[in-house]
Amino acid sequence: MSAPIQLYAIARFSKWLQARQLGLHQVDEDMVARFLKRDPGIVHGGECAALLRLLAMLRAVGVTDVQTPQPRNSRQRFLDEYQRHLLHGRGLAEATTLYYIQFAEQFLSDRFGQGDLNFAELRATDVTRFIQDRARLGKERNKLLVTAVRSFLRYLRYRGEIDVDLAGCVPAVAMWSLSTVPKFLPPGTVQRILAHCERKSSQGKRNYAVLLLLARLGLRACEAVALNLNDIDWETGRISIRGKGGRCAQLPLPIDVGEALASYVRSGRPSCSCRRVFVRRRAPLRGFAKSSSLSSIVKRALIRAGVHSARKGAHVLRHTLATDLLRQGASLDDIGELLRHQSPNTTAIYAKVDLTALRTLALPRPGGAQ
């Protein structure tokens, strides 16, 4: 997260403290948590990390007392066990797990307040009321909400905490399968973007290598962020990708991607102990904390090349690769294998952009030319 955004979060926190006549010497984790929950149902991205850094700095200079860790209560221990189940039992990504835990905490607070957890008291009305109260967050966010609540309720039944399948009463969000068209860039646009990349500075070499990985191999941003130096086998020309759920896959390394990575590692990457391939250019020298950092790189590259697109994140390059391959005659099975889709249904959405094949299915207009 950039310094201006962190300073903006700290400024908001400072105004919040002033409004409540609280001093810096009183700041602790509980106070930070109270501030973060000031708008129920709304997540202020990046505030938590920035304020925890501020708290650590205040303790380091002696403004705020260093507190000994408090023993975790039964609710916290229960959520810790649920988080381990999501990470290791179900193999969910860490970012997804954090969202699930957040919604589980909100559900427990909504039903039990700060009291003891008595799951035998849960009823279907508790679930539907919770969903209805928070289903104002937008379609994608609502979908994540109901998925997280279903997951938590199934976990409760798996643990034997409830006897009734309450997950079945979670209302669905109306998002019809294959109802959307993937957002992609016109033919030749990716090459135009790469041609406008600055490749002399260390930052330019890093960003160029990132863009090539996304555009040539269709990596997700989280996969590129998690890439380590030992994931690249220079002798065999292969690269190991850790995808969703911790699943690993090996892909051939195209020549231009390998050359860009080698150029960055040899003469652009800072010397540090971090094993991540892509490292921040400012201290502390470590890998990117979030996938959104790579989306920012893509957005700036689009602007530099003068490309106007409704979607400017890293995923637009993945969609563009799939549609380009389809246009060149690749099958949906081949595309699904490259993109590492677990289900053919995920790849099926790209059939909607294959206009040549779709024209053969179109019926003639009644009364039209034969």
DSSP per-residue codes, 317-345: HHHHHHHHHHHTT--HHHHHHHHT-SSHH
Host H or E run for residue 252? strand 248-252
Q: Give me the mean pLDDT over the 296-310 stretch.
A: 90
Structure tokens at 303: 């602007």
Across 290-314, b (16+ Cβ under 10 Å) vs e yields bbbbbbbbbbebbeebebebebbbb
pLDDT, position 361: 45
55 vs 369: which has the higher pLDDT: 55
Whether residue 10 has pLDDT greater than 80: yes
Q: Of the residues 134, 318, 319, 340, which is catalytic?
A: 318
pLDDT, position 40: 58
Whether residue 82 has pLDDT greater than 80: yes
Q: Give me the mean pLDDT over the 51-58 stretch.
A: 83
Q: Give me the mean pLDDT over the 13-22 stretch.
A: 88
Q: Residue ranges per domain, the chain?
A: 3-60, 74-169, 189-357
Per CATH, which fold does 74-169 belong to? DNA polymerase; domain 1 (1.10.150)
Residue 155: active-site member: no
pLDDT band at 327 (very low <50, low <70, confident <90, very high): confident
pLDDT band at 68 (very low <50, low <70, confident <90, very high): low
Q: Of the residues 134, 205, 220, 276, which is catalytic?
A: 220
pLDDT in tens, 234-289: 999 999 998 776 778 899 999 999 999 999 999 999 989 899 999 988 878 888 88
Common-topology check for domains 74-169 and 189-357: no
Residue 208: active-site member: no
pLDDT, position 311: 78
Beta bridge partners of 361: none
Q: Give me the mean pLDDT over the 126-148 stretch.
A: 83
Whether residue 73 has pLDDT greater than 80: no
pLDDT in tens, 330-350: 888 888 888 888 778 777 777
pLDDT band at 301 (very low <50, low <70, confident <90, very high): very high
CATH of 189-357, one of 2.40.30.60, 1.10.443.10, 3.40.50.11610, 2.40.110.10: 1.10.443.10
pLDDT, position 72: 59
Whether residue 353 has pLDDT greater than 80: no
pLDDT, position 291: 84
Distance from the first to the final alpha carbon of the chain: 60
Residue 196: active-site member: no
- Rounded Cα–Cα distance for residues 271 and 202 (Å): 12
- Rounded Cα–Cα distance for residues 95 and 293 (Å): 14
pLDDT, position 335: 84
Q: Count the Cβ atoms, other than its own, within 10 Å of residue 33.
A: 11
- Ranges 6-20, 69-83, 188-202, 301-315, most confident: 188-202
Whether residue 293 has pLDDT greater than 80: yes
pLDDT, position 257: 94
Structure tokens at 188: 């030749």
Q: Of the residues 269, 315, 319, 340, which is catalytic?
A: 315
Note whether 169 and 128 are within 8 A (CB): yes
Note whether 221 and 291 are within 8 A (CB): yes
Q: Of the residues 100, 208, 264, 350, which is catalytic?
A: 350
| Mean pLDDT score of the chain | 83
Residue 44: active-site member: no
Q: Give me the mean pLDDT over the 292-312 stretch.
A: 88
Q: Give me the mean pLDDT over the 29-51 stretch.
A: 73
Amino acid present at 92 = L
Radius of gyration, alpha carbons of the chain: 24
Residue 99: active-site member: no
Q: Of the residues 244, 290, 299, 352, which is catalytic?
A: 244
Residue 280: active-site member: no
Q: Residue 279 gets which letter from DSSP?
A: B
pLDDT, position 81: 92
